[in-house]
Amino acid sequence: MKRGDVRLFEGGKVALVAAFGIWAERTGKYIHIHMTGDGENFVHTTVTNNPKSRKRYHKTLFRDLRRLLIAHDRWAFGAEGAETEE
């Protein structure tokens, strides 16, 4: 799949698989995980491990995306972010 590709499930299921880019970078003291899609329907968003961020903190989403990046050797921050595992 390439970024922006979408595949629909057949058989009446109301779901799809969408390809999007995901990467992490440090922004100040905290890590932001970025996600970007097709540039039209899913442009760009971030999630952070900063518990004081009212708009971008989502512990479960950060944890799951961090696990995904670690599983594919794309996490450059060692144990940082592991507090979301608790």
Tens of pLDDT, residue by residue over 8-18, are 888 777 788 88
Closest to 5 in 3D by CA, of 23, 15, 19: 19
**% of the chain surpassing 90 pLDDT:** 64
User: Comparing 53 with 12, which gets the higher pLDDT?
Assistant: 53
Beta bridge partners of 31: 26
**% of the chain surpassing 70 pLDDT:** 99
Mean pLDDT within 45-59: 95
Q: Is 50 a residue whose pLDDT tops 80?
A: yes
pLDDT on residue 46? 96
Please give the mean pLDDT across all residues of the chain. Answer: 91
